[in-house]
Structure 1
């Protein structure tokens, strides 16, 4: 009898980790970081609640750190088998893990200086650069639709989830005593209105379904309204003469914004002189998106072809990369007519903060937030109407226009989640478990699904089910 134990993304939306075990093998689905409040992040340092050395394989749904960020810790603790994912995820994972370990080591160094002055015990990083390097050597990139054996009696097949490049719905085939049963893990399902990527692939059969529920309590704003507002803000900024600053996440959101700006350019509606992508990480990710255009949806491929574009860069010819520190600093001399896209997405680090220093106090400047701003972040403070922004001890007066556009989510909405699960056989519905969602959201979603003829369960952390 196979079992699944729920270890992460159960009491929230981070730390994704699910252990599937049979009499002959054990595999881990995802190994993500806990992110958010300090008490949640402290869970990253705890020992794994299972014997790492007994794992036969790890299967990764996609590269985002809340699904992948503890892989180097798993390796540091003794894991030495294959890690399966799609080929684009392998490339994105290298960028994300190297960035994560650099930030972690920097934070540990700063914290140890403080502890040393206080005469307290120093702390160790969760993992090292060597652990990241070893993790990457274990990664195996697979194609969508290709069934591969990952452990004795266990095969997996990746289906396109449409969330970020390389994101996957994971089909897990478990054979015991000649009988095959199937578990499907949705991973993070994409918003079918998003640019570039395809809609989540329909899966018709499963015995057990683990379904993400990030937006199980709501629907997104219609995309046509979102794009109309985006166009209006860009046009307004061009009339005002100021710069536009867009804090953006390096993976997924940045590439969508580049495409949307490209649409405006192709229609003759982008009057800004240049668009600067000022993020080495986002630049590297954009180049990976260029290499995997075969997974773009047909509509956006056609739009790029119509614009005689071979890449996002040529679809938006005024796009400029600012890779070096010197190139980034040079942007401070631009007083008007530019769009600057930079990280971090919630403004708690990165180059966007330096651009704020040179633009927030300008009345003709605009800041466009295109992603969720968590409570306690500098980005959330600006969205909530902060009058001053603190940058390296300096208080900067906020005179720029602050805009929030909420329709660019990369996650499926409530109705989109329902549409996807309705693709499963209605005559033999899978046992449905809601994961990757806040507690209130899952309760609302469970009630909504009940009205639609689905009986969903909300597992507790550490709970084990059999199938």
Structure 2
């Protein structure tokens, strides 16, 4: 299972959850978001949240609607992101429910109630919930992301959440620790190696040059959280250093615009932003601002983008083309070979983005078969997920204490590849649990 992280940790005295995410992808995954939780919610005393992506927080309001009244704990940026991200998810889930004649999993009122239960903790501060002691560490994935070490009954269990790629442009890098008895490690890219992230800016520079010379549009489906801000940060450097032509660059995502403002509010905080990024901001050069950048808030503004002559660049959500304004642009631009669509993030099975990336000749958008004639490019180096090498580097310092690892959040091939490497290189037991499986530690 790739999406919908939700882990129940139980002692003789208490029960807690780590993450409570929404499942994304094909119809089976989406339908599961409407099903009952497979545990007694009244027995759950707290939820520890690794980060704000909806596949890790998207079902928290449903949990509250179902009766949860415990503590919700994360870093401050994660809580700040949760409000707008959950509100956006509520709209998508409501639309899905209306199509199928079902009751939406939760309402905006449930989101507000969840945020009322939500408390924050900074990295390296310990927090106690009954007989559980937890500490958050920087996962280097997105702003405020964490992996969490939880101690209970003389055992230490580490939940990786999502681990970050190397050399992130502005957030601080992934931390490492040396002790755990058990680890749940993500495996999104457990069987792959990314391009050298130091060259990814060169790749985007070449794509911009090639597409603008053709008089085309560069279309970038991007997650509203982190990926859009990474793209803006690096486009800023390319534009201001005159490495690319000054063409209109549209951020066509109200959610991404809102989240970018939250990023700006933390851009001087050394607990979360790198020294280089803070220095850039302190020099008076806004890290998400540059000539040619245009934010489009309304649908009317979005529709007018097509009236802007080529060449141009459009960054829009959703990152997997599940919905959002990107699908309107894909319908408009995919059929023209002068254009380029650039994927800079993970595309789950069943998503329109995955179909395009994997070479589909046509995709169905709003009931129409749209031919894919544009150039299709994917850059794994922009992934916010660690690749196999980085995952192994993270877990290696814990190898002498580890009794077992559980490889999670990856498609079968990726999870199997990472589990095999852990067994062979580290001589540590590695299992791939199935959804709903119980393990006694």
Specify if TM > 0.5.
Answer: yes
Q: Which residue of 1 is the match for residue 287 of structure 2? A: 311
How far has the Cα of 1:367 moved from its partner? 2.3
Distance of 2:369 and 2:309 partners within structure 1: 20
Contact 1:272 1:338 in 2 (8 A): no
1:140 match: secondary structure: strand
Q: Which residue of 1 is the match for residue 253 of structure 2? A: 279
Distance of 1:363 and 1:210 partners within structure 2: 44
Distance of 1:385 and 1:19 partners within structure 2: 38
Q: Which residue of 2 is the match for residue 137 of structure 1? A: 116
Query: Which of 335, 339, 361 is the aligned partner of 1:365?
Result: 339
* 2:301 is equivalent to residue 298 of structure 1: no
Query: Which of 146, 151, 162 is the aligned partner of 2:140?
Result: 162
How far has the Cα of 1:13 moved from its partner? 1.5
TM-score (norm 1): 0.87
When residues 432 and 399 of structure 1 are mapped into structure 2, their CA distance, relative to the original with a 3 A threshold, is closer
Q: Which residue of 1 is the match for residue 30 of structure 2? A: 41
Residue range with higher mean Cα deviation, 433-442 or 22-31: 433-442
Residue range with higher mean Cα deviation, 363-372 or 189-198: 363-372
Distance of 2:64 and 2:148 partners within structure 1: 22
- In the alignment, structure 2 segments of 5+ residues that lack a partner are none
When residues 303 and 455 of structure 1 are mapped into structure 2, their CA distance, relative to the original with a 3 A threshold, is same
Q: Which residue of 2 is the match for residue 153 of structure 1? A: 131
- In the alignment, structure 1 segments of 5+ residues that lack a partner are 1-11, 113-122
How far has the Cα of 1:399 moved from its partner? 4.7
Distance of 1:390 and 1:448 partners within structure 2: 38
The C-alpha deviation readout for 1:103-153, integer Å capped at 9, x for no partner, is 1112222333xxxxxxxxxx222222222221121111221111122x212
Q: Which residue of 1 is the match for residue 408 of structure 2? A: 435
Contact 2:246 2:291 in 1 (8 A): no
* 2:221 is equivalent to residue 247 of structure 1: yes
Distance of 1:398 and 1:221 partners within structure 2: 25
Contact 2:196 2:381 in 1 (8 A): yes
Query: Which of 306, 323, 327 is the aligned partner of 2:297?
Result: 323
Q: Which has the larger radius of gyration?
A: 1
How far has the Cα of 1:396 moved from its partner? 5.2
Distance of 2:88 and 2:222 partners within structure 1: 16
Give runs of aligned pairs for residues 394-413 of structure 1, distance below 5 A: 398-413=372-387
Residue range with higher mean Cα deviation, 448-457 or 226-235: 448-457
Contact 1:157 1:170 in 2 (8 A): yes
Contact 2:280 2:287 in 1 (8 A): no
Give runs of aligned pairs for residues 369-408 of structure 1, distance below 5 A: 369-386=343-360, 390-393=364-367, 398-408=372-382
Distance of 1:384 and 1:100 partners within structure 2: 26
The C-alpha deviation readout for 1:168-190, integer Å capped at 9, x for no partner, is 0112122x5xxx43221111110
* 2:164 is equivalent to residue 171 of structure 1: no
Indicate the RMSD between aligned Cα atoms, in angstroms. 2.3
